[in-house]
Amino acid sequence: MNPIDGEPMLVAAAKSSVPGSRLPDLLERAQDHLHGQLDDYRRGYERAHEGDRYEAFFVEVSHWEELGDDIGLSRRERDAVARAHREQLLWASRDEGRREEVETALDLREVVVVGR
């Protein structure tokens, strides 16, 4: 299950160099890999957001490089998927009135969104 909403996915697709039609499949591939790792993220990382369908965690900057390698994503694909995860957190933080705080945190870290 892909926890990235439509609007964040559209923004990520528009800003990435991967065709928008490919992004849902790439996001699904990432979630297939992340599935079952929610407890590991809870233990090892700061939770940035908790929702009904997913939780988001601040991770180190190199995290997506390693994740992309693990699931066989090219650099462009990895960047597009990471951007979608980032946009999802920004979207959620806007609704919570925390957008500025989250943007500041994302200057130093990345985010991983893990579906429930």
Strands (E), 1-116: 46-50, 54-59, 110-115
Measured CA to CA in angstroms, residue 71 lies from 33, 47, 50, 66, 76 at distances of: 7, 23, 25, 9, 13
Instruction: Please determine, for residue 28, whether its predicted confidence score (pLDDT) is greater than 90.
Output: yes
The percentage of the chain sitting over the pLDDT mark of 90, rounded to a whole number, equals: 84
Element (H, E) at 11: helix 6-15
Give pLDDT tens digits for 53-102: 999 999 999 999 999 999 999 999 999 999 999 999 999 998 888 999 99
Q: 3-class SS at 110?
A: strand
Instruction: Please determine, for residue 1, whether its predicted confidence score (pLDDT) is greater than 90.
Output: no
pLDDT-derived band at 16 (thresholds 50, 70, 90) equals confident
Distance separating alpha carbons of residues 46 and 58, to the nearest angstrom: 6
